[in-house]
A and B are shown apart, each in its own frame.
Chain A
Amino acid sequence: MAQDQQHMTNNFPGQIHETPGGGIVLSKLDDVINWARSNSLWPLTFATSCCGIEMMAVASAKYDFSRFGFEVARASPRQADVIIIAGTIVNKMAPVLKRLYDQMADPKYVIAMGACAISGGPFFYNTYSVVKGADHVIPVDVYVAGCPPRPEALLHALISLQQKIKMGMTREQIKEGV
């Protein structure tokens, strides 16, 4: 648990040993890579509906996700690291989402933003065309509740994803609670 606490902070993962005339940094290469990776996540501009507007609000000056290294929103999946599923996924869109995910280079992460992407949300009952949760199509790392979520909630999700990356574990390891 103490190690988990260390991942909550954004400090450089390592120890500085003072020596005469300078210092030596001791760290694990994996930790350094994860630390660097978590602070420059480029999101894909993937918005299908209402949540996309809140995603734009997070990109704008008041909430500003560039404070956490997310500002380089890419339109091409080949340049993106994280896909924020902002909006409902319907049956016709599901193959497109899968294809976008497959086109992204590893390591890649997924945030399901809003009730629709989590479970179908308000469109769970009585519809014939909505996918009941984006995790039926691609694996999801972080879920954000809300319809649409507040910008602060999305920021919290982005920070949660950073912590997850800093822990350096795979999805399966986290699920098993290793």
Chain B
Amino acid sequence: MVEELGTTTEGDLIINVGPQHPATHGVLHLVITLNGETIKKVEPHLGYIHRSIEKMCESLTYRQFIYVTSRMDYLSAHINNHACALCVEKGMQIEVPERAQVIRVLMDELTRIASHELWWGAMAMDLGAFTPFFHAFRERETINDIMEETCGARLTMNYMVPGGVMADLHPDFQKRVKAFISLYRSKIKEYDEMLTGNIIFQNRMKGVGYLSPEDAISYGCSGPAARGSGVSCDIRKLYPYEVYNKVQFEEVLETAGDSFARYMVRIREMNQSVSIIEQLIDNIPEGDYQAKTKAVLKLPKGEFYTRVETARGELGVYIVSEGATTPYRIKFRSPGFSNLSALDHMARGSKLGDLVAMMGTLDLVIPDIDR
């Protein structure tokens, strides 16, 4: 192939994937330029689920706007709420009780497991394996039930509020989480036996969608997408928040940079999340679950930025305040948007059939990208 990648010449085939396509996990629209079966260019078109969340937040108070963020990255709803609550707390200089901090971390890690579960099932389904979907949802439903008992919702929880969490834990919480994690490690082994070791699956993943560490940094990738290339970027380690500096866990890094490396990062991250939960579940301190705060929150004039590690990478919340009850401007730095931008670079020169594996391991959530 002598033609240059990234250009369109006569005779090239241009195909549209999406917005209605099961492998895009939502409503992403990709315009793909093909030479034969080789991808020359992938151009993502966004906005099919742009709900103007940032603009909405400007007319909602600091207590109200958190519920909208559950709908952004709905697979890590807790962590989105957490990021916003942290930013408001930073502005108001609210001290969060230790019990609330531990509850938040527990919920975050349960969410991370649930999110990786769904990714695992959906990605395998995209590659043509249907069974993992049912196995993944079996465990996911257990986590949903635990969440529902405490938060009252299965998916969009709105549980974290400025100053702590909305309600105390359900009395059965510890018992049910312990029952879940005692089984869960064996389930991860089951996943490995079912999919990770499968030779067909490995052939479709290994060497596909290579992303070098330099490119991962220059495209602003974060989360498992960057850690699969060996870039250390776990916010929980680098800029610890809540009680992450008190628990023992390792930042999962793989160096191969291909789809299989990103896959392994997520599988190993599930193990790390279980170990964080194991350390905390017996040590939930007594006390208040919420700090005493004023009924109406007014952030002082200024700019505030916090970041957390969601299941997909770094989520940043940037609030500009004019001293009123509503923010002057809110900007979310979503992990999916930056990770998607690397897709074109990864896909160039590879075959069309491999694109699904690349998109699957980037773990895109489209409402998180469009907002």
A contact residues vs B (CB 8 Å cutoff): 45-50, 52-54, 56-57, 60-62, 75, 77, 87-88, 90, 92-93, 96, 100, 122-123, 125-130, 147-148, 150
Additional 16 contacts, C-beta under 8 A, given A87-B49, A123-B56, A148-B155: A48-B49, A49-B71, A49-B366, A49-B367, A50-B74, A54-B154, A54-B155, A56-B122, A57-B137, A61-B137, A87-B367, A88-B367, A90-B51, A92-B47, A93-B48, A130-B52
Residue among B20, B52, B141 having the largest count of chain A Cβ atoms under 10 Å: B20
Task: Give every chain B residue within 8 A of A93 (Cβ-Cβ).
Answer: 19, 27, 48-49
A53 in contact with B155 (CB, 8 Å) = yes
B interface residues with partner A (beta carbon < 8 Å) = 19-22, 26-27, 47-52, 55-56, 59-60, 67-68, 71, 74-75, 118, 122, 133-134, 137-138, 140-141, 144, 154-156, 366-367
Contact A50 B71, beta carbon cutoff 8 Å: yes
* Min CB gap A65→B, angstroms: 13
What are 6 inter-chain pairs, A to B, with CB distance below 8 A? A56-B118, A57-B154, A60-B138, A87-B367, A122-B71, A148-B154
Which chain B residue lies CB-closest to A103?
B20
Given contacts A54-B155, A148-B156, A150-B154, contact A48 B48 (CB under 8 A): yes
Q: How far is the CB of A131 from chain B (nearest CB, A)?
A: 10
Chain A CB within 10 Å, residue with most, of B21, B52, B60: B52
A46 to B118 Cα, complex, angstroms: 17
A56 touching B137 by the CB < 8 A rule?
yes
Residues of B close to A148: CB separation below 8 A: 154-156
Question: Which residue from A45, A53, A61, A129 sits with its C-beta under 8 Å from B22?
Answer: A45
| Chain A residue at minimum C-beta to C-beta distance from B58 | A126
- Does A90 contact B49, Cβ atoms closer than 8 Å? yes
Indicate if the CB atoms of A52 and B155 lie closer than 8 Å.
Answer: no
What chain B residues lie within 8 Å of A122 (beta carbons)?
Answer: 67-68, 71
CB distance from A53 to the nearest CB of B (A): 6
